[in-house]
Amino acid sequence: MSFSRVFESLFLALLLLGGGILTQVGCFSFNFSNFPDQNPVDFLMPSAISHIEGAAIQVTPNVNTESYNINRSGRAFYKNEFRLWSKSKDVAASFNTTFVFTITPHTNSGGEGLAFILAADDTLPQSSDGQWLGIVNAATNGSSQANVVAVEFDTRKSYPEDLDGDHVGLDVNSINSIKQVSLGGYGVNISAGNPTSVRVVYDGKNNTVSVLMMTNGTGEYMPVMSLPLNLSDHLPEKVFVGFSASTSNYTQQNSINSWAFDGDDIGEDAARAGLLWVWITVPVVVIVLISGVVFYMYWERKHRERPEDAYPMIEDQIRGSSMAPLNFKLRELRKATGNFNPRNKLGKGGFGTHNDYNNGIVYWLWALRREDRILDAVDSKLSGQFDEDEMAGTLVLGLACCHPNPHQRPSMRTVLQVLTGEAPPPLLPAERPDFVWPAMPPSFKEDTDNGFIKSQLTPFTELAGR
């Protein structure tokens, strides 16, 4: 895999993870399976009428003195506000709430009803008992100043517009419902003193309110009401969520047995919390990304294919050769040369002045041989007093002993044989051979074809003087 492919994969992982963090939506949620008496701190109850008793929220009084129960209203809210929509973000929250209530009549015909409400404030409207269900009063009914939306569960036909004494209605700033549904056809009797399970769902994207109820004997929620409604048109950005209820001369116990709420948290606190996760997670991901790239580069360099070497064992051959050049450490060279002092310089080139001189003589002798003037190298002091054949053979033998390839040099046995006249001088090439390292020995076939080598194989005989 190429470096670019690895980088793209890691970068894509960063985008997916970072994108998930940046688009994460918080959740405003709570769940009370019941209400112990020590839980009142979790709720706002604007009057002493509402209270917690018997592991339930009693929205209206539940006392034995009937005169105390008549013409009462109450409200109970969760302690924290819920951000329903945001003008600056142009977004609306969705929520899903489930609750169980019990309405138990105290008189032969109970009254008046209970409602799930979203309200701009946590106060209880004065004189909101009776038909007002604690939602509004005569002064605020139908006014946009009421700032309340409710799903009512009415148990009494209080005015001509009510369908009957057992219905569900959706109320907007009024107890005159924009839609009502009679529960008789669903087999539900909300005022029979039995627990009733309800689910209210708001889709903030499609602006739809839906009410579902668990019908008798099915154990499943059945849609009862669903209609379009944009809550941001009627409520402020932040609202209180909870319940209201009322009685009249006809009384009933209005109890909330359990309550769960799950909503999108689009508030500033959620944004800050999401940003905190970004500040924590993105640097970690970047570090992982960089570490991955560095590791890949190291791994690729370590495992990268090397080009095939023409001489794969050349270094081992050089080190194993008896004629291998010596290796010196830098500190040894510094010490031997006085830190490379120019006054200790022997000459220029790879072999110094002495070698330059010797090489010059060898090169000159090769040149004379090539021109068939090898005897011109004889010292003039001899004044021609020598055997020309013996002198020429001796000079050729000297050139053979200076061959750049040590494997091609004659052995001492051959040298003695040539000097004593028992063997002819070695055969040399017409031109001076080049220096090649490492020096490779000739093959056996080459040995048998080379007269010079043949001379090395000549049997040794007893030396005789001349």
Of the pLDDT bands very low, low, confident and very high (cuts 50, 70, 90), residue 19 is very low
Q: Please state, in angstroms and rounded to a whole number, the distance separating the CA atoms of residues 417 and 414.
A: 5
Q: What is the CATH number of the domain that holds 402?
A: 1.10.510.10
Calpha distance 239→442 (Å, rounded): 101
**DSSP state for residue 387 in the 8-state scheme:** -
Mean pLDDT across 111-120: 96
At residue 462, does pLDDT exceed 70?
A: no
Final residue belonging to a domain, choices 248, 265, 282:
265
Report yes or no: 83 and 238 within 8 Å, Cβ to Cβ.
yes
Percent of the chain with pLDDT over 70: 77
Q: Is the pLDDT of residue 58 over 60?
A: yes
Tell me how far apart the alpha carbons of residues 49 and 124 are, in angstroms, rounded to a whole number.
10
The CATH number assigned to the domain holding 58 equals: 2.60.120.200
pLDDT above 80 (res 2): no
Predicted confidence band of residue 314 (pLDDT cuts 50, 70, 90): low
Residues 398 and 258 in one domain: no
Q: Same domain for 249 and 361?
A: no
User: From CA 41, how far away is CA 407, in angstroms rounded?
Assistant: 104
Residue 283: the pLDDT is 77
Higher local confidence (pLDDT), 254 or 450: 254
> Looking at the structure, do residues 159 and 257 belong to the same domain, yes or no?
yes
pLDDT at 202: 98
Most confident of 127-131, 372-376, 381-385: 127-131
- The pLDDT assigned to 452 comes to 42
Choosing from 231, 248, 265, the residue where a domain stops is 265
Task: Spell out where 371-449 has E strands.
Answer: none
Q: What mean pLDDT is predicted for residues 149-154?
A: 97
Q: Which residue in this structure is represented by tokens 């032969």?
A: 108
Q: What is the structure's pLDDT at 13?
A: 54
- Calpha distance 261→242 (Å, rounded): 10
Q: Is residue 238 part of a domain?
A: yes
Confidence at residue 393, expressed as pLDDT on a 0 to 100 scale: 87
* Residues 150 and 257 placed together within one structural domain of the fold: yes
Q: Which of 212, 231, 265 is the last residue of a domain?
A: 265
Residue 445: pLDDT above 50?
no
Give the range with max mean pLDDT: 125-134, 154-163, 375-384.
125-134
With respect to residue 328, please indicate whether it lies within any of the assigned structural domains.
no
The verdict on residue 128 lying in a domain is: yes
Burial 248-271 (b: 16+ CB within 10 A, else e): bebbbbbbbbbbebebbbbbeebe
Identity of residue 106 = H
Structural domain including 233 reads 26-265
Long-range Cβ contact pairs of 413-419 (< 8 A, separation 24 or more): 413/456, 413/460, 414/455, 414/456, 414/458, 416/463, 417/455, 417/458, 417/460, 418/393, 418/455, 419/394
The predicted pLDDT at position 350 comes to: 47
Q: Is 447 helix (H, G, I), strand (E, B) or coil?
A: helix
Q: What angle is formed at CA 387 by the lines to CA 385 and CA 388, rounded to 5 degrees?
A: 105
pLDDT at 463: 42
pLDDT tens string 65-75: 778 899 999 99
Q: What is the mean pLDDT of residues 228-252?
A: 96
| Same-domain pairing of 239 and 101 | yes
Q: How far is CA 252 from CA 52, 194, 291, 304, in A?
A: 16, 13, 69, 85
What pLDDT score does 461 carry? 41
111 & 252 share domain:
yes
Do 250 and 127 lie in one domain? The reply is yes
24 close to 275: Cβ distance less than 8 angstroms: no
**Which residues lie closer than 8 Å to 192 by C-beta, 6 or more apart?**
none
Decide if 425 is inside a domain. yes
Helix (H, G, I), strand (E, B) or coil at 440: coil
Query: Which pLDDT does position 182 carry in this prediction?
Result: 94
Q: Grade residue 268 by pLDDT with cuts at 50, 70 and 90.
A: low
Integer Cα distance of 117 and 173 in angstroms: 11
Number of domains in the chain: 2
Query: What is the distance between the alpha carbons of residues 370 and 360, in angstroms, rounded to a whole number?
Result: 15
Top mean pLDDT of 283-287, 309-313, 368-372, 442-446 is at 368-372
Residue 460 pLDDT class (50, 70, 90 cuts): very low
Q: Give me the residue label for tokens 């013409």.
A: 71
Q: Are residues 100 and 219 in the same domain?
A: yes
Q: Is residue 333 part of a domain?
A: no
Q: Flag whether pLDDT at 354 surpasses 90.
A: no
Q: What is the pLDDT of residue 278?
A: 58
Check whether 133 has a pLDDT greater than 90.
Answer: yes
**Is the pLDDT score of 444 beyond 50?**
no
Q: Is 90 exceeded by the pLDDT of residue 299?
A: no
Between 405 and 238, the more confident residue is 238
Asked, for residue 46, whether it belongs to a domain, the answer is: yes
Rank 5-19, 152-166, 357-371, 428-442 by mean pLDDT and report only the highest: 152-166
Are 132 and 232 part of one and the same domain?
Answer: yes
**What's the confidence (pLDDT) of residue 221?**
93
Weakest mean pLDDT among 72-86, 94-108, 172-186, 359-373:
359-373
Mean pLDDT, all residues of the chain: 82
pLDDT confidence bin for 223, thresholds 50/70/90: very high
Same domain, yes or no, for 251 and 366? no
The residue-averaged pLDDT of 275-300 equals 74
Confidence of residue 92 (pLDDT cuts 50, 70, 90): very high
Q: Which residue has the higher pLDDT, 57 or 5?
A: 57
Share of the chain above pLDDT 90, in %: 41
CA separation for the pair 67, 17 (Å, rounded)? 63
| pTM of the shown model | 0.56
Could you tell me if residue 284 is inside a domain?
Answer: no
Q: Residue 180: name the closest of 190, 171, 193 by CA.
A: 171
Contact 119, 239 (CB under 8 A): yes
Could you tell me if 258 and 362 lie in one domain? no
Q: Identify the CA nearest to 191 among candidates 164, 245, 154, 246.
A: 154
Looking at the fold, whether 250 and 366 belong to one and the same domain comes out as no
Whether residue 367 lies inside any domain: the answer is yes
- When pLDDT is averaged across residues 385-411 and rounded to a whole number, the result is 87
